[in-house]
A and B are shown apart, each in its own frame.
Chain A
Amino acid sequence: MEKLGVGIGWRPEIDLTVERLPGVDFVEVVAENLHVSHLPESVLLLRDRGIPVLPHAVSLSLGGAEPVDRDRVAHLASLAEALDAPLVSDHVCFVRAGGLDSGHLMPLPRTRDALDVLVANVKAAQQDLPVPLALENVAALLEWPDADLTEGQFFAELVDRTDCHLLIDVANLYANARNLGTDVSRFLDEIPLERLAYVHVAGGEEHQGVYHDTHAHAVRPEVLDVLAQLRARVDPPGVLLERDDHYPADAELAGELAAIRAVLG
């Protein structure tokens, strides 16, 4: 995979911050929030500086029972072209079902049925995308019953059957370890790390014994520990900090990026 370095999620609320933070090697934009015909000036400025801008989608619902929505894929594809992005990403999840919209990234049942449908949807999306697709693990608050596979096995088979890349979110992995008892080292052992495109790091908070992946709080040391566990196995091509709300002072974000660099060594 292409070396990306250390990056941060570009958001309109922190556009100037992202532009002036030192040592931002790449950024990510939320695909659904941008229009190809009027891209934010700040995003174009970063692109023109030669900083890779990676579109990150949240609405393809690739793990949903419905065939993938080609208009959503087309939007992602045109954004990748407009931004000259090396790859795009979305999540291993479902968003919609039965005419309802969860407004969130919902975990999939880890069954053969769900994997077959996910694989078919991912292949359909890949056909319409001009660049590689990386798929991310989500944070779940609940567990589906009757799993046939561990989360790591589910991802390994997904990569094997679709040749997709991996976007591993270490905060989501930490959340699942805390809330569902996912075995972090087993997950990292089971996934094909040679397919790792980059890593997400984010903050969260604990509420009544449950860890919530909020992207609105500081990154916890425990999440950096998971990053260290991953780093012990592979040198990730990229690591990106996600912050989506309650934006702190620039210095605090710079500090979190420095903490990530320190773990990477």
Chain B
Amino acid sequence: MTQPQRDRLAAAQTELLRALLADGATPPGFDEDRVRIEKRALRNKRRGIVEMLRPDVADELGERFRPLFDAYARTHPKEDGTRFREDAARFADWAVGQGELKPPKKKRWWQRTAT
């Protein structure tokens, strides 16, 4: 059985992901510089995917997209089981809640084929 190994590994991997994704402390033994670089790389990748999936949101926010997404990401790490499309939608909802993005117009039945 591998349960003791799994438990120790889970603790170590969780600690690292919290440091990288959720502003947790750098676990002992890791190079602070490298953790910072990895953090940025992961955030850039996530932001890039959101930008690709929701160009409408990125376009409307313009230069504010990057700082806003990064602020969002620090307090909203991507949770296990969340699809990237949901991640992008949650960011858009958050940005609306912050007053940074216009709320989406409700689609009326006669607009179904519009644009």
A residues whose Cβ falls under 8 Å from a Cβ of B = 64-67, 94, 96-104, 106, 109, 112-114, 116-117, 120, 141-146, 208, 210, 212
Contacts and interface: CB of A to CB of B under 8 A. Distances in A.
Which A-B residue pairs are the 10 nearest by beta carbons?
Answer: A145-B29, A98-B14, A65-B10, A97-B13, A142-B34, A113-B5, A65-B9, A141-B38, A100-B17, A116-B5
Contacts of A109: 9, 12
B6 interface: yes
A95 to B, nearest CB: 9
B17 A97 contact: yes
Main secondary structure of the interface of B (DSSP, over half): helix
Given A100-B18, A100-B80, A66 B41 contact: no
Nearest to A94: B13
Contact of A102 (B7, B42, B49): B42
A85 B43 CA distance: 34
Contacts of B10: 65-66, 97-98
A47 to B, nearest CB: 27
A185 B31 CA distance: 25
Interface string B29-72: 11100110110011001100100000000000000000000000
State which size class the interface on B falls in. 35 or more
Given A104-B45, A142-B37, 5 more contacts: A100-B14, A100-B18, A100-B78, A101-B78, A101-B80
Interface in B1-35: 2, 5-10, 12-14, 16-18, 20-22, 28-31, 34-35
A153 to B, nearest CB: 18
Contacts, number: 95
The CB with the most chain A CB atoms within 10 A, among B9, B20, B78, is that of: B9
25 contacts: A64-B13, A65-B7, A66-B10, A94-B13, A97-B16, A98-B14, A100-B18, A100-B22, A100-B77, A100-B78, A101-B80, A101-B81, A103-B45, A106-B13, A106-B16, A106-B17, A113-B9, A116-B5, A117-B5, A117-B6, A141-B34, A141-B37, A142-B34, A210-B37, A212-B41
B28 A145 contact: yes
Main secondary structure of the interface of A (DSSP, over half): mixed
Contacts of B20: 102
B80 A96 contact: yes
Contacts of A98: 10, 13-14, 17-18
Contacts of A120: 2
Nearest to A100: B17
A13 to B, nearest CB: 11
B82 to A, nearest CB: 6
Contacts of A65: 6-7, 9-10, 13
Given A100-B79, A103-B78, A143 B31 contact: yes
A117 B4 CA distance: 10
Nearest to B10: A65
The CB with the most chain A CB atoms within 10 A, among B8, B81, B84, is that of: B8
B81 to A, nearest CB: 7
